[in-house]
Homo-oligomer: A and B are copies of this chain.
């Protein structure tokens, strides 16, 4: 699937997953994000390299915060953004996803930001896109690459050298696209040790995660960690009785100040949001000095700007050059 991401010149053509994207390219994206963050820091606007370009938000799952982050990233760079409301759209008239894509491409849409509950939908769209770039904004439990990048940028702002870091990710790892994208980016950047912690039924197979440590002992996992990434416990996991109760979950897997003291001094706390306070994270940690939750949100904008600019800066292939047409 990741081969689709690159064109014949080896340039990034779509952003579907961080799996298979190497360290140099990741660092270039993060450098670029940091540069754009500086350029827009005054809040008075910045460069507009996407003027005249059109970005379509194609969200099949509601996600106001991610959609808004992509929308602001694209608009601040000068692009027109269309929010394609899929409830009222032709897909409800039985049009295939491929025909919807082709139609919007024919309107000169340059990029599609796609969220879908099924793994692989962004890749499926990338496979049939004639010229537009596809950005995965989260598909099933597969990948959420811009979240992985913004988490990496947030950590890198404090720790330049990932080879000195122990990072713990805690929660429903099994169903988490965030955990998978974090795992790929942390590994690409050479993180020393990655610990994946959660209830046994919510942990992935060891085969999937390679050298990462799998554990259900959160106290042990936090011990000495430089970064703790807490995942949101989806309500559907509780409803499916994969978790006994919010209180019991918090008792074993919630991050409170007491537990955080086991981590390295000044360890960073991340959470992709929205937070379930009192379920996976306590108020005093969420709002405390080690929390980087709002930095993550802030970094989401320049990271998405960097992804959009990287995908759109080269001339897109012209449909006329497409031998299939």
Identify the A interface with B (CB < 8 A): 40, 42-46, 51-54, 62-65, 68-69, 71-72, 75-76, 80, 82, 84-85, 88-90, 92-96, 99-100, 102-108, 110, 235, 273-277, 294-295, 297-298, 300-301, 316
Contact = CB atoms under 8 A, between A and B. Distances in A.
27 contacts: A43-B52, A44-B51, A44-B52, A45-B51, A52-B76, A62-B89, A63-B88, A64-B88, A64-B89, A65-B89, A65-B103, A68-B104, A71-B82, A72-B107, A72-B108, A75-B80, A90-B274, A93-B235, A94-B235, A94-B274, A95-B274, A95-B275, A96-B277, A99-B274, A103-B274, A107-B297, A107-B300
Given A75-B80, A274-B94, A298-B107, A52 B62 contact: no
A294 B90 contact: no
A108 B301 contact: yes
A300 B235 CA distance: 43
A103 B95 CA distance: 35
Given A68-B104, A106-B295, 15 more contacts: A43-B316, A44-B52, A54-B72, A63-B88, A64-B89, A65-B89, A72-B82, A72-B107, A72-B108, A93-B274, A94-B235, A95-B273, A99-B277, A100-B274, A103-B294
B90 A65 contact: yes
Contacts of A62: 88-89, 92
A105 B89 CA distance: 28
A276 B96 CA distance: 9
